[in-house]
Chains A and B, each alone.
Chain A
């Protein structure tokens, strides 16, 4: 799971988080986290974003509140999360027990030329989430911690936040459907039943 620099490989992290995913619901932030989640296997219970930067954690909150019996996992990037730091305060105030927000932190804006993000300068996302009031906020660097995070996401009492330090590797894109209507309708049909399509 580790690169030669001793950092976690992003797709190995995501594959472990989604292992035996059962009825887990997944929101994937735009860019590489979308391709990572898709590389682990396209699935109707995935809602992979192609835009709306800064929306991933809040979509996760709305979904977690609407489906309190299901587990919701947001997988997004450090750049996307940094655009929505206020969402961490909003989520902490609502305390959704079934929500985990996992940031794959390569300290880069990967899609735009690998410019450094704030985390490259030491900005502590896990510390920000903890200070906002997340009861559990993890800084993940080791494979064993990824397995612990998987357990939190599938069975723990949240909200849980995790900042997972990953290798800034550039990988081939693995693309899910791009059309929003398809992504929405297949997700709702899977979660709510086919009758959801009849509105």
Chain B
């Protein structure tokens, strides 16, 4: 592994680099995404790694199925999505659940902390309950320095015990946008 990349684990704000290192260490090969601003650095790192295939989805549930196929073929994967996309996945999550397949979901939260857009709140507030209702194990990281260790624990739990595990990365880590600022004339 690249020594320069490892240094990043010492700085909390560099959690995307630390998560990338963990995915690399675990030999994650398929990274399924519906983009979110909070995942943009991690997505770029994955795109730049020739050993990882980034698969852009039209809807998040495709990623649940994709990574089931990857596991059948002997590859590990990770699904990167926003909390709103969790709602799109619910019935598809019966697949890893009933087949006892590992699934690592890294969920960036909206409607959670400092949210400006009211339309993000219903699904943001329902994310954890919805995941738990379909049998996904949920862990939260609400401070930057907790993201990497939470992802490491979740990934080991998922791949060692063949379970679906989601890490919810709080909006307090990602920073909340204020659309009123964005709407000001520049």
CB contact list, A24-78 vs B, under 8 A: 27, 47, 51-67, 70
In the complex, which residues of chain A have a beta carbon less than 8 angstroms from the beta carbon of B30?
Answer: 62, 65-66
Specify which of B69, B91, B100, B159 is in contact with A180 (CB 8 Å cutoff): B100
**B65, A184: Cβ atoms closer than 8 Å:** no
Whole-angstrom distance from the CB of A172 to the nearest CB of chain B? 25
Tell me which of B51-59, B106-114, B178-186 binds A.
B51-59
Whole-angstrom distance from the CB of A77 to the nearest CB of chain B? 16
Tell me which of A15-23, A101-109, A136-144, A191-199 binds B.
A191-199
Interface residues on A, range: 35 or more
Does A97 count as interface, using CB distance less than 8 angstroms? no
CB contact list, A157-199 vs B, under 8 A: 180-181, 183-184, 187-188, 191-192, 196, 199
Q: Count A-B pairs with CB separation below 8 Å.
A: 117
Tell me which of A4-12, A87-95, A113-121 binds B.
A87-95
Does A84 count as interface, using CB distance less than 8 angstroms? yes
In the complex, which residues of chain A have a beta carbon less than 8 angstroms from the beta carbon of B162?
Answer: 199
With A and B bound together, what is the CA distance between A180 and B99 in angstroms?
4
A residues near B (Cβ < 8 Å) are 27, 47, 51-67, 70, 84, 86-87, 89-90, 93-94, 180-181, 183-184, 187-188, 191-192, 196, 199
B residues near A (Cβ < 8 Å) are 29-30, 53, 55-59, 61-75, 77, 91-92, 94-95, 98-101, 159-160, 162
